[in-house]
Amino acid sequence: MDISKKLNDAINAQIGHEFEATLQYLSMAAYFEEEGYKNLAKRMYEQAEEEHAHGMKFFKFVLERGGKVEIPTLPGPKAVFTSALEVFKAALAWEKVVTKNIYNLVEIAIADKDYATQQFLNWFTNEQIEEEANMEGYIKLAEKVGKDHEYLLEGHV
Ligand code: MG
């Protein structure tokens, strides 16, 4: 095995977080579908697919490095939302946790002097900048239009 046990365990936890994010975004997509917001739902489906792809990147990386993939039990996603603003705020809070988790992985890789994993994680660090910026943008718009006019967001995602 080319990665430490500690790093392997932490990446397995991250695979869980990424798949958990997939479920969370699907749950948000379902809420938007219920509200009749097709474009907002589409955006959340895309986000769910991205998170699944992130999980698979970690999954394949562990295998490539001769580690052991163990997918943790996933908690169920939040299912009840009352507004688009609430959805975007929950998504941003989620992405900030993901960013912290990735920084934690970077710290382990640095302590291990595992340069290959550090390189691999750079992509995720950069990806998180975009994820957070996107959600911050949506929050700004949702705050401007307010709950009564949130349908206007349909044209802006
Ligand atoms: Mg992700």
Q: Which candidate, 50, 57, 66, places its Cα nearest to that of 120?
A: 57
Determine the angle formed by the axes of helices 84-111 and 5-35, rounding to 10 degrees.
170
**pLDDT greater than 90 at residue 156:** no
Count of residues making up the chain: 157
Residue 36 falls in which region: left (phi positive, over 0), alpha (psi -120 to 50) or beta: left
Side-chain-side CA neighbours of 75 within 13 Å: the count stands at 6
How many A from CA of 5 to the centre of ligand 1? 22
**pLDDT greater than 90 at residue 157:** no
How many A from CA of 148 to the centre of ligand 1? 31
| Per-residue confidence (pLDDT) for residue 113, from 0 to 100 | 97
| Overall pTM surpassing 0.85 (yes/no) | yes
pLDDT digits (tens, 9 = 90+) for 78-136: 999 999 999 999 999 999 999 999 999 999 999 999 999 999 999 999 999 999 999 99
Residue found by looking up tokens 């603003």 in the block: 85
pLDDT digits (tens, 9 = 90+) for 5-37: 999 999 999 999 999 999 999 999 999 999 999
**Whole-number Å distance between alpha carbons of 12 and 108:** 13
| Per-residue confidence (pLDDT) for residue 10, from 0 to 100 | 98
Question: Is 28:44 a contact under the CB 8 Å cutoff?
Answer: yes
How many A from CA of 145 to the centre of ligand 1? 28
Cα angle at 53 between 52 and 54, to 5 degrees? 90
How many A from CA of 98 to the centre of ligand 1? 7
How many A from CA of 92 to the centre of ligand 1? 12
| Per-residue confidence (pLDDT) for residue 155, from 0 to 100 | 87
Domains and CATH numbers, the chain: 5-151 (1.20.1260.10)
Side-chain-side CA neighbours of 30 within 13 Å: the count stands at 11
How many A from CA of 79 to the centre of ligand 1? 19
**Neighbour tally for 27: CB within 10 Å:** 19
